[in-house]
Structure 1
């Protein structure tokens, strides 16, 4: 075995505080499993704007106690550089129901308190939105939530919020990463949590903190539409996560009495025994909640993902079965609803470049503003916060991956407030003898039926760089449609059909957006790490007076299928 590799593994072993990962590593050393050790010690699990996320395993490429301690030490050092009063403002820490989450959260608290930084630690599992809420509620300098959200059971993660309550953005991520690299070369100190409490460095967030979030939902200006909530019936699943108790509570507070929780998925369980993949977007993940809805004839089948920051819903059709709404459909329903009811100074909405363009059209028709940001909630909330004014408050933000910010009590996606808002939207429609499908149809009749699709294309390792290939000679026609404009986010330039150019106000990113005649659009995002690209497609089809939702959907789907195959055929193989 390579001597350097063996030395690195032994050094790690000497510092690893966890008997189980030490044993795991010792077995690899004893059996001479060089290939596996190489993978474990190839580098470090990268810290980025989403923090850390990876498989729980020994070594610097895995999620484990030593990695969490080193990360916390690096974060603490960065906070001390950047925030003069971090010691007294403190850091909020919460965790989900995965097997290692509580231990990782306690390790983070032990490291930060040993550095003299006050920590607010949740006394039990907490939905991710409660940590984001806690940062601004307690005026903390930062927040940490230990969660792998909707990833498979073997994963865990470490997500960081800044003092504004939003996820970190550059250059905070690279600054923290540099401090983690330094911390990884130093010995790490931990303060025992009982000692930290005795020294007033550790405050446990007990039930009164959870009640503060609950009362915040109850008082939120955007959640005051109490039109006949008793008309709504819904089934609900926490998907073996941490959302059930708060979800049921805030629904009851809003007067929604017909709520049927899926008992088999109600309690936190890090093994996620009833789903292959605890992500509401995955095939089969909504099966039990839809079956529960059918049993009760409920209008809606609702889900949170395991850390309760995302919201998914299937809606009963006239035929009595249930159809899942896409993230874009929920997003435009929320946007339309909130802008209809919002105060005069709540006219700002945000969405991402890969989400449907329909929200911006609805906003324009309602004399409101829709900002478009790079992909990710970190951009939506930081931009929404920066752009809002006293006269134009941010009322809503969404991304197509089932993330919604309803109001601005929490500056991140929040599946719990979204659940309440969707129940209220449905109740108001029911009081008028209408359904969610009727509202969607009204929106489509006014603005066109918008269909969106995402396709990942695997490329051969020999395929030339797609971004460079497309930029060298920008296409003027895609899938037999004229290209009206091309946005190159890497250079910040928009080029129109006639050759004129204007600047785009977005951070540089390797993304190309082609807007085509007739309202179609394709977005190309090359992967920086593997030979594949992600393509996001949108087609817009006008609804004729004799069209039904089904008929226009079928027409749009046929157009989408042709569009995708023609575009993919035009790319170098």
Structure 2
């Protein structure tokens, strides 16, 4: 019998195309590797939480994973419905389990699914342990142990579990839900056909708010958006609804609700760097928290300025929340931020939590009496400058990817768009520091066939030229091609 293909874990687990690489046999192999890893660590008797999202067959892939854990004699708490990633991670801590398996591809396109694993802290598993899990994955599905799902339920090794109440009780220790229920706000929520559906009416309803949900049914093809990721153009219909309803704010969550986005009262998107900086500012200034700020290398310079203003440390990591989570734990940080809209908060688990993040943003509005756009201006006044950010995701072939990597390794420009380059950070990609103006960064994605170009500057007119310069730098965009043709 020919061995199956190797399963490799990226920055946040293993993902693949459904029925191509993400098959039931491969999911079972991955679950067997995780079971053997837990046994090797001597913690398998603590059990495992298993949850899933709204994607095609996610519930069945989760059941297949549960059957493997049960087949290995490992207790399973199986969530009774599709469950947000932060709730799954919190349940690990609440149940004092050894870890979790989460069947989700988060913000990926509809044809993908994923197999995420978490440790006993509810956190992303460090790279060294991910490699060990990979090593335990059997080459053949014949090496997998299985206990049929309903047999496991009958024997008590699989327990169907409702995790919601414990998570809500925990959230109440971080934000004043009763006060937020009576904020008198009209809140539009684009839950992107995902796991946040129903959560905001439950958390914020019953008082003086009006809660309006968009895309709150299960539809695994994610109509009206390219993917359930809280950025343009995926958020456009939610923004339109916000304006139609004359709402005070738009909450946005990705497919598994670990990431967030915000639309202001004018129908303008508050980008993820601004949201991270606003939440950090709120925790420092209004919640009087002190401690380290953790951010990925492609995150905002506004966080650097806030760290300097409030005299707290700032730690920069490679891209990937597993790096952020590790630093967040080690440094007892107040917040951990990644560019894709995922943030972890003090007093919560070391995991992205898009639901808590949106609640904290609303609490910021309530405490200050300001609208979202007014909060942005307040932040800029505090920092002494306005900050502008954009990102291009450029789909590339393997040849283009390799050419980009080679070009970047050889090209160290002395200036870009007439601004001197006074440093290049190669922690994860190539980040060109442009003095007081800001920065431009080029990075090849670790999970998708993409080259990403980012920039954040204090001069809005320089955003488009810098992004085009980034594309020209790697040879994907011809110098004569109009920048307007590039999708941003």
Q: Is this a same-fold pair by TM over 0.5?
A: yes
Structure 1 counterpart of 2:227, from 250, 274, 277: 277
d(CA) in 1 for partners of 2:464, 2:358: 33
Contact 1:229 1:424 in 2 (8 A): no
> Could you say what secondary structure the match of 2:387 adopts?
strand
Structure 2 counterpart of 1:299, from 248, 268, 271: 248
Deviations 1:309-337 (CA, angstroms, capped at 9, x unpaired)? 121221123xxxx1111111111111111
Give the alignment's TM-score, normalised by structure 2. Answer: 0.88
Contact 2:334 2:345 in 1 (8 A): yes
Contact 2:100 2:119 in 1 (8 A): yes
Partner of 2:481: none
2:268 paired with 1:323: yes
Structure 2 counterpart of 1:420, from 359, 371, 389: 359
Query: Which deviates more from structure 2 when the two are superposed, residues 444-453 or residues 560-569?
Result: 560-569
d(CA) in 1 for partners of 2:89, 2:226: 28
Structure 1 residues 72, 486: closer, same or farther in 2, change over 3 A? same
d(CA) in 2 for partners of 1:328, 1:408: 22
d(CA) in 2 for partners of 1:276, 1:532: 15
Structure 1 counterpart of 2:129, from 148, 172, 175: 172
CA RMSD of aligned residues (A): 2.9
Partner of 1:370: 314
Partner of 2:198: 245
Structure 1 counterpart of 2:375, from 421, 439, 443: 439
Deviation at 1:44?
3.9
Partner of 1:70: 29
Deviation at 1:187?
3.4
2:97 paired with 1:194: no
Contact 1:214 1:246 in 2 (8 A): no
- Show structure 2 runs of 5+ residues with no match: 477-488
Partner of 2:171: 217
Contact 2:28 2:141 in 1 (8 A): no
Structure 1 counterpart of 2:213, from 237, 256, 261: 261
Structure 2 counterpart of 1:233, from 174, 177, 186: 186
Deviations 1:16-60 (CA, angstroms, capped at 9, x unpaired)? xxxxxxxxxxxxxxxxxxxxxxxxx7x345333422212211xxx
Deviations 1:210-263 (CA, angstroms, capped at 9, x unpaired)? 10001111122x55794894232211132222212222222238x56221223x
- Show structure 1 runs of 5+ residues with no match: 1-6, 12-40, 389-393, 490-508, 542-555
d(CA) in 2 for partners of 1:572, 1:99: 37
d(CA) in 2 for partners of 1:464, 1:305: 30
Structure 1 residues 307, 342: closer, same or farther in 2, change over 3 A? same
Partner of 2:82: 125
2:480 paired with 1:536: no
Deviation at 1:105?
0.9
> Could you say what secondary structure the match of 2:135 adopts?
helix
d(CA) in 1 for partners of 2:29, 2:109: 24
2:88 paired with 1:143: no
Structure 1 residues 107, 473: closer, same or farther in 2, change over 3 A? closer
d(CA) in 2 for partners of 1:293, 1:567: 34
Give the alignment's TM-score, normalised by structure 1. Answer: 0.76
Deviations 1:108-160 (CA, angstroms, capped at 9, x unpaired)? 11111111111111122111111111111111111111112222332211111
d(CA) in 1 for partners of 2:204, 2:93: 24
d(CA) in 2 for partners of 1:188, 1:529: 26
Decide which structure has the larger Cα Rg and report it: 1
Partner of 1:203: 159
Deviation at 1:405?
2.1
Contact 1:362 1:447 in 2 (8 A): no
Structure 2 counterpart of 1:560, from 425, 444, 463: 463
> Could you say what secondary structure the match of 1:354 adopts?
coil
Structure 2 counterpart of 1:524, from 438, 442, 448: 442
> Could you say what secondary structure the match of 1:266 adopts?
coil
How many aligned positions are there? 474
Contact 1:286 1:303 in 2 (8 A): no
Partner of 2:329: 385
Deviations 1:254-282 (CA, angstroms, capped at 9, x unpaired)? x56221223xx222232434544333314
Which structure is richer in relative contact order (CA contacts within 8 A, separation 6 or more)? 2
